[in-house]
Amino acid sequence: MKTSPLAGNTHRRMNNNTVLIMITIALFVIMYAAGCIAYSEKGFDHLQTFLNILINNSGLICIACGMTCVMLTGGIDVSVGALIAMDCMFIAVGIEYWGVSSPILMLLVLLIGVAFGLLQGFCVGYLGIQPFIVTIAGMFFARGMTAVICTQQVTIKSDPFFVGLANLKFNMPFEIGAYFNNKGKEMIPYFRLPVIIALVVLVAIFLVLRYTRFGRSLYAVGGNQQSAALMGLDVKKVRMKAYVLSSFLCSIGGICYCLNTMAGTTTQATGLEMDAIASSVIGGTLLTGGVGNVIGSFFGVLINGTISSLVKTNGKLISSWANVVSAMLLCFFIVLQAVFAKIKERSKG
Amino acid sequence: MKQIRKITKMRLFLPIFSMVLVMAINMIYDVANGNVFYNFFTISIRNGLLYGRLIDILNRGSEAAILAIGMTLVVSSSAGVDISVGSVMSLAGGMCCMLLAGFGNANVSQYAMPLWVGLLAGLAVACLCGAFNGFLVSYLNIQPMVATLILFSAGRAIGLLMCNSTIVYIREPSFQFLGGYLGPIPTPIIVAILCITVMSLILKYTALGMYVQSVGINAKAARIAGYQSRRIIFTTFVICGLLAGIAGLVATSRIYSADTNNIGLNFELDAILAVALGGNSLGGGKFRLSGSIIGAYTIQAITTTLYALGVSSAQAPVFKAVIVILIVTIQSPAVKAVMAKRAAAKEVAARKGAVGV
d(CA A197, CA A192) in angstroms, rounded, equals 9
- At A38, give phi and psi (nearest 5°): -70, -35
- Selected residues 325-344 of chain A with any CB under 8 Å from a CB in chain B: 326-328, 330-331, 334-335, 337-339, 341-342
Environment class of A304 (CB within 10 Å of its CB; exposed 0-12, middle 13-18, buried 19+): buried
- pLDDT above 90: residue B185: no
Whether the CB-CB separation of B167 and B106 falls below 8 Å is answered with: yes
Environment class of B110 (CB within 10 Å of its CB; exposed 0-12, middle 13-18, buried 19+): exposed
Given A145, A288, A327, which is nearest B153 (Cβ)? A327
d(CA B46, CA B337) in angstroms, rounded, equals 52
Environment class of A213 (CB within 10 Å of its CB; exposed 0-12, middle 13-18, buried 19+): exposed
Whether the CB-CB separation of B316 and B306 falls below 8 Å is answered with: yes
Inter-axis angle of helices A102-125 and B316-331, nearest 10: 30
The pLDDT value given to residue B1: 59
The pLDDT value given to residue B93: 93
Whether the CB-CB separation of B262 and B87 falls below 8 Å is answered with: no
ipTM: 0.78
Band of pLDDT at residue A2, cut at 50, 70 and 90: very low
The pLDDT value given to residue B92: 95
pTM: predicted TM-score of the whole model, two decimal places: 0.84
- At A191, give phi and psi (nearest 5°): -135, 170
Asked, for residue A24, whether it belongs to a domain, the answer is no
Environment class of B198 (CB within 10 Å of its CB; exposed 0-12, middle 13-18, buried 19+): exposed
Q: What is the pLDDT of residues B189-207, one digit of tens each?
A: 999 999 999 999 999 899 8
Q: Chain B within 8 Å of A153 (Cβ-Cβ)?
A: no
- pLDDT above 90: residue A107: yes
The pLDDT value given to residue B200: 93
Domain count across chain B:
1
Q: CA B54, B57, B59, B64 torsion: positive or negative?
A: negative
Q: Which residue of B has its CA nearest to A322?
A: B157
d(CA B357, CA B347) in angstroms, rounded, equals 15
A342 Cα to chain B: minimum distance (Å)? 9
Asked, for residue A19, whether it belongs to a domain, the answer is no
Residues of A in contact with B151 (CB under 8 A): 327
DSSP A22-49: HHHHHHHHHHHHHHHHHTGGGTTTSHHH
Q: B49 has which bridge partners?
A: B46
Mean pLDDT of A307-318: 83
Mean pLDDT of B52-68: 90
A141·B161 Cβ contact <8 A: no
Asked, for residue A2, whether it belongs to a domain, the answer is no
DSSP B12-31: THHHHHHHHHHHHHHHHHHH
- pLDDT above 70: residue B357: no
A140·B329 Cβ contact <8 A: no
Q: Chain B within 8 Å of A72 (Cβ-Cβ)?
A: no
d(CA B193, CA B182) in angstroms, rounded, equals 13
Mean pLDDT of B150-156: 88
Asked, for residue A15, whether it belongs to a domain, the answer is no
d(CA A17, CA B316) in angstroms, rounded, equals 43
Burial B210-242 (b: 16+ CB within 10 A, else e): ebbbbbbbebeebeeeebebbebbbbbbbbbbb
Mean pLDDT of B88-95: 94
Residues of B in contact with A287 (CB under 8 A): 143, 145-146
d(CA A132, CA A278) in angstroms, rounded, equals 16
Mean pLDDT of chain B: 86
Band of pLDDT at residue A349, cut at 50, 70 and 90: low
- pLDDT above 60: residue A1: no
Band of pLDDT at residue B248, cut at 50, 70 and 90: very high
Q: Count CB pairs under 8 A between chains A and B.
A: 141
d(CA A206, CA A67) in angstroms, rounded, equals 13
Is pLDDT larger for residue B169 or for residue B283? B169
B67 Cα to chain A: minimum distance (Å)? 17
Domain count across chain A:
1
Q: What is the pLDDT of residues B64-80, one digit of tens each?
A: 999 999 999 999 998 88
Which of A77, A83, A129, A330 best probes binding to B when mutated, by most B CB atoms within 10 angstroms?
Answer: A129
Given B164, B317, B334, which is nearest A128 (Cβ)? B334
B150·A271 Cβ contact <8 A: no
A127·B161 Cβ contact <8 A: no
Asked, for residue B286, whether it belongs to a domain, the answer is yes
DSSP B39-75: GGG--EEETTEEESHHHHHHHHTHHHHHHHHHHHHHH
Residue B248: its H or E element: helix B229-254
Band of pLDDT at residue A5, cut at 50, 70 and 90: very low
A76·B145 Cβ contact <8 A: yes
A324·B165 Cβ contact <8 A: no
Given A141, A277, A320, which is nearest B161 (Cβ)? A320
Q: Chain B within 8 Å of A274 (Cβ-Cβ)?
A: yes
Residues of B in contact with A266 (CB under 8 A): 314
Q: Return the percent helix, strand and coil in chain B, to nearest 5.
A: 70, 5, 25
Band of pLDDT at residue A345, cut at 50, 70 and 90: confident
Mean pLDDT of B107-115: 85
d(CA B192, CA B60) in angstroms, rounded, equals 11
- pLDDT above 90: residue A113: yes
Structural domain of B123: 54-310
Given A141, A281, A328, which is nearest B318 (Cβ)? A141
B315·A144 Cβ contact <8 A: yes
Which of B153, B299, B311 best probes binding to A when mutated, by most A CB atoms within 10 angstroms?
Answer: B153
Whether the CB-CB separation of A307 and A241 falls below 8 Å is answered with: no
A312 Cα to chain B: minimum distance (Å)? 15
- pLDDT above 70: residue B24: yes
Q: Chain B within 8 Å of A235 (Cβ-Cβ)?
A: no
Asked, for residue A290, whether it belongs to a domain, the answer is no
Mean pLDDT of B41-45: 77
The pLDDT value given to residue B10: 66
Residue B119: give its domain's CATH number. Answer: 1.10.3470
Q: Chain B within 8 Å of A323 (Cβ-Cβ)?
A: yes
Asked, for residue B293, whether it belongs to a domain, the answer is yes
Other CB atoms within a 10 A radius of the CB of residue A226 amount to 8
Q: What is the pLDDT of residues A45-58, one digit of tens each?
A: 788 888 888 999 99
Q: Chain B within 8 Å of A138 (Cβ-Cβ)?
A: yes
Where residue A113 falls (left for φ over 0; alpha for ψ -120 to 50; beta otherwise) is alpha
Q: Which residue of A has its CA nearest to B273?
A: A133
Asked, for residue B301, whether it belongs to a domain, the answer is yes
- pLDDT above 90: residue B34: no
B321·A330 Cβ contact <8 A: no
B321·A137 Cβ contact <8 A: yes
Asked, for residue B258, whether it belongs to a domain, the answer is yes
Burial B302-317 (b: 16+ CB within 10 A, else e): bbbbbebeebeeebbb
Mean pLDDT of A253-257: 93
Structural domain of A76: 46-268
Q: Chain B within 8 Å of A152 (Cβ-Cβ)?
A: no
Which amino acid makes up residue B141? Answer: N
Q: CA B177, B183, B188, B190 torsion: positive or negative?
A: negative
Asked, for residue A162, whether it belongs to a domain, the answer is yes
**Local structure of B142: helix, strand or coil:** coil
Q: Return the percent helix, strand and coil in chain A, to nearest 5.
A: 75, 5, 20
A206 Cα to chain B: minimum distance (Å)? 24
Q: Which residue of A has its CA nearest to B311?
A: A148
Residue A263: its H or E element: strand A263-264
